[in-house]
Amino acid sequence: MKAIRRLRLREVIVIIAMLALSLFWLYPFLWPVFSAFKSSQEMYAAGYQLWPKEWIFDNFVRAWDSANFSRYLLNSVVYSVVSTALSVGVSAFAGYSLARYRFPGHRFIELLILAFLFIPTATSILPIFDLIDQLGLLNTMPGIILALTGGVGFSTLLFRGFYSALPQELFDAAALDGAGFVWQFRLSFPLVKPVIATTAILGFTSSWQEYFIPLVFTLGNPDLRTVSVGLRAFTQQFSVDLSGFAAGVTLSMLPIIAVFAFFQRYFIDGLAGAIKD
């Protein structure tokens, strides 16, 4: 009885410590949200207080209109959605083929993926820039989307691993019933939802968070900037407009938080799936 009592006290201390840590942890996240409602004067003299003395809404209007922000936000959403769809579609087909079948060239393709899997962005960005230029897609949306989608090697490996782990009898039974490649692939759809979620989420967040590629690919056409690159330009041009910046940051969080709210379970499972192979 005594032992249980002592443990509880320790637990209470841990919970209090975690609460304190969470407050610190939340502060940088909440700072732009609350700052977005402050006036410029209050912002400048704000100190570390979060709560606005007076709630003001025209920061959002200013950020939205003057900084071309709506455009950047739309760009970010379009790039992330299209490149994710592209990457999931392409790698699902390739992963399925590599997992389910053994054909001439199979081993070569798998070795190729493994050998080139972890090429750092810095190592490949200049030729990608050059390639997009040669294709005549520099300073266009498709060019940026292609560069963001990249080689899809990692997601293909994820699909390949997942399809290999499925019971093959299922496919063989379907094949006996006369189902060909396409039908067997469609049949497996309900089973592979988790790995679709994993690749979609990893793809979406990595495109959403990417900075190097959109920065380099929008040097020649500011209209194509993403939120991150646009906000950076905004801070360099209007370095004093802190509350406008905060409003921009707050707006930029809305799409990804909406996606997260809808697919929360998939986010957690999807991320965990990435390390389980």
Partner 1 sequence: MNSSPLRDVAPPNGGATSRPGRRRPLPRLRATTLAGVPMRRRDLGWVYLALVPFLILFLAFTVWPLVRTVQFSFYDYDGIGDLADASLVGLGNFDFVTKDAVFQLSYANTWLFTIGQTLIKLPLSFLIAVLLLQPWLRMRGFFRMVFFLPWLMPPAIVAMVFYYLLNPNNGAINEALTGLHITSEPIDFLASAPIAFSTIALISTWQIMGQYVIFWMAALQLVPQSLYEAAEVDGANGWRRTWYITLPLIRPMAVIIASLGLIWSFNIFDWVQILTSGGPGTSTFVVNYYVYDKAFAHARAQFGTASAAATLFGLTVLVIYTVVGRVVSRAQAKRREYGV
Nearer to partner 1, 55 or 211 (CB): 211
CB of 32 to partner 1, least distance (A): 6
**CA dist list (Å): 211 to 147, 198, 248, 263:** 12, 22, 17, 24
One-letter-per-residue 3-state SS of 106-171: HHHHHHHHHHCCCCCHHHHHHHHHHHHHHCCCCCCHHHHHHHHHCCCHHHHHHHHHHHHHCCHHHH
User: For partner 1, which residue of 5, 120, 237, 265 counts as binding (CB under 8 A)?
Assistant: 120
CB of 135 to partner 1, least distance (A): 9
Nearer to partner 1, 26 or 191 (CB): 26
Q: Which of residues 167-226 bind partner 1 (CB under 8 A)?
A: 168-169, 171-172, 175-178, 180-182, 205, 208-212, 215-216, 219
Q: Which of residues 78-97 bind partner 1 (CB under 8 A)?
A: 89-91, 93-94, 96-97
CB of 266 to partner 1, least distance (A): 12
Q: How far apart are CA 31 and CA 19, in angstroms?
A: 18
Q: How far apart are CA 214 and CA 77, in angstroms?
A: 13
User: For partner 1, which residue of 70, 127, 189, 191 counts as binding (CB under 8 A)?
Assistant: 127
CB of 73 to partner 1, least distance (A): 12
Q: Which of residues 147-166 bind partner 1 (CB under 8 A)?
A: 147, 149-153, 156, 164
Give yes or no for residue 1 binding partner 1 (CB under 8 A). no
Q: Which of residues 8-37 bind partner 1 (CB under 8 A)?
A: 8, 11, 14-15, 18-19, 22, 25-29, 31-32
Per-residue b or e along 200-237, where b marks 16 or more CB atoms closer than 10 Å to that residue's CB? bbbbbbbbbebeebbebbbeeeeebbbbbbbbebbbee
Question: Contact at 8 Å (CB) between 32 and 246?
Answer: yes
Nearer to partner 1, 74 or 272 (CB): 272
Give yes or no for residue 272 binding partner 1 (CB under 8 A). yes
Nearer to partner 1, 141 or 271 (CB): 271
Q: Binding segment for partner 1 among 58-66, 67-75, 126-134, 193-201 (CB under 8 A)?
A: 126-134
Q: How far apart are CA 251 and CA 222, in angstroms?
A: 19
Give yes or no for residue 48 binding partner 1 (CB under 8 A). yes
Q: Which of residues 49-68 bind partner 1 (CB under 8 A)?
A: none
**CA dist list (Å): 180 to 102, 169, 177, 184, 187:** 16, 15, 9, 6, 10
CA dihedral 235, 133, 125, 251 (to 10 degrees): 30
